[in-house]
Amino acid sequence: MKYENANNILPPDLVNQIQKYAAGKLLYIPQKEEPMAWGSLSGARQKLLKRNQRIYNEYKNGKGVGELSEEYFLSVDSIRKIVYGANKNRISFLPTLQNAIQYNQAGLAEEWLRTYYVKMYGEKSYPEEWICDGLINIPLRLIDSVDNISLQQSDNVPLMIRFQKGRFCCQGTMEYLKCLKKQNITAYPAFVFVTDKQEYDFYESNYGRHFHRIQFRN
C-alpha cells in the first residue's frame, strides 16, 4: 500500500479539517463496507431462494410450467426464468446423503426433504406440520424403535427419525440399522421430525442442542 499526499486527492476544506485533528500523522482510512445483499436482514432473500428452489425441484419432478404458474401465482415467463435460467444458487436434487448436506448448508433442507418424500413416497407424504430444523448426527443408540416401512432408496441417504413422547423412531427397517452398526458406525446423519412445539422444546433442551449440526464441505 503506497502513501498518497492528501492535498492531491482530497478537497482543501477536508484537508483543513483533518489537519486540526491529525496533522503530520499517518492515517489509515478503511474501505467502505460492502452493502448487504437485498433482503439479507429481513429474510426475504432466503425465502425467495427457497421458493425458487422448490419450483425448480417440482419442475424437474414432472410439474409443467403452466401448473407451477397457477400454484405459485407467478406469470409463465417468471416460472420459465426460474426453471430454465442459469443460476448458481440452484441445486439439482439427488436422493443422496451428500446432496442433502449440500441443500442443508444452503439453508434449503426443507426443499430437499419435500422433493425426497414426493419422489420416493408420493405427493402428500411430506409431514409439513412437523418441526425439522436441519441435518444432525444422531447417535444410533438413541433409536429405540423402527417404523415398518420398506426402504425405497439406496443406503446412502440420511435417516428419517420421528421424535415423539421422548422416543426416537426411525422410518425404515431394523436390518438397515443393524447394517450400519455392523460397520461400527455409532452416529449417522439424520433429519429429526418433532410432532409439535411443546415436544420440540423438550427435544431441543434434552437432545437437540447437544447434537452436532452437519455442514457441507467441498
What would the pLDDT profile of 100-110 be if each residue is shown by its tens digit?
Answer: 999 998 888 88
Q: Which of 85, 87, 80, 90 is nearest to 57 (CA)?
A: 90
Q: Which of 208, 179, 215, 214 is nearest to 192 (CA)?
A: 208
Local structure of 163: helix, strand or coil: strand
DSSP 141: G
CA R_g for the chain: 25
The domains of the chain, with CATH numbers, are: 127-213 (3.90.1530)
The side-by-side arrangement of strands in the sheet containing 135-139 is: 143-148, 167-172, 159-164, 187-194, 135-139, 212-213
C-beta separation of 93 from 115 below 8 A: yes
DSSP 126: S
Percent of the chain residues topping a pLDDT of 70: 80
Amino acid sitting at position 27: L
The dihedral built from the CA positions of residue 195, 201, 202 and 203, taken in this order, carries a sign that is positive
* Polymer length of the chain: 218
Local structure of 38: helix, strand or coil: coil
**Residue written as grid cell 425441484:** 57
C-beta separation of 107 from 43 below 8 A: no
Q: What's the whole-model pTM score?
A: 0.69
Range from 31-45, 101-115, 140-154 that averages highest in pLDDT: 101-115
Q: What is the mean pLDDT of residues 57-76?
A: 89
39 has pLDDT over 60: no
Report residue 39 as a C-alpha cell. 433482503
35 has pLDDT over 50: no
Determine the pLDDT at residue 168.
92
Which residue spans within the chain are E strands per DSSP?
135-139, 143-148, 159-164, 167-172, 187-194, 212-213
